[in-house]
Amino acid sequence: MPKQFTYGKDEKLKSRKVIESLFSNGHSFTVYPLKILYKIETDKEGILQAGVAVSTRQFKKAVDRNRIKRLMRESYRIQKNDLKETVALQKVNLYVFFIYLDKTITIYSALNETMKKCLDRLQQKLKDERPA
């Protein structure tokens, strides 16, 4: 089956309840300029959902915030397939939230490299936290 490079409605993290639980008792790490919040739920059906955010305090103009979010989503969309396969194989739910920390707008290639590091690290954490 060919790889799907989509980012559909079912893959977007929109549930207020899940997002609040991510911020309150999820795990996090930073690969500058991204901070990643994630939560792994075991014994589930293998769902991978992701969301992105950019601080209004850092970027006053919505145009700038939307540009960065668009770059983050595009980078995630292209590179998420390996992570998605791991989630499906382990039958866990993974909720991920990317927060942009930098004060300047980055170029796509730099953000793409950072996203690759983030997704590799998430995949490693999934393998480390494999249910017994």
Q: Which domain holds residue 113?
A: 10-124
Cα–Cα distance measured from residue 50 to residue 97, given in angstroms and rounded to the nearest whole number:
6
Whole-number pLDDT of residue 2: 63
64-106 pLDDT tens trace: 999 999 999 999 999 999 999 999 888 899 999 999 999 999 9
**Residue 131: inside a domain, yes or no?**
no
Angle, CA 37 vertex, CA 130 and CA 18 arms, to 5°: 85
Whole-number pLDDT of residue 132: 41
**Residue 5: inside a domain, yes or no?**
no
Side by side, the strands of the sheet bearing 93-100 are: 27-31, 34-41, 93-100, 48-54
**Residue 84: inside a domain, yes or no?**
yes
Whole-model pTM?
Answer: 0.92
**Residue 68: inside a domain, yes or no?**
yes
> How many domains would you assign to the chain?
1
CATH of the domain at 51: 3.30.230.10
E strands within 1-132?
27-31, 34-41, 48-54, 93-100
12-46 pLDDT tens trace: 999 999 999 999 999 999 999 999 999 998 877 88
Whole-number pLDDT of residue 8: 87
**Residue 4: inside a domain, yes or no?**
no
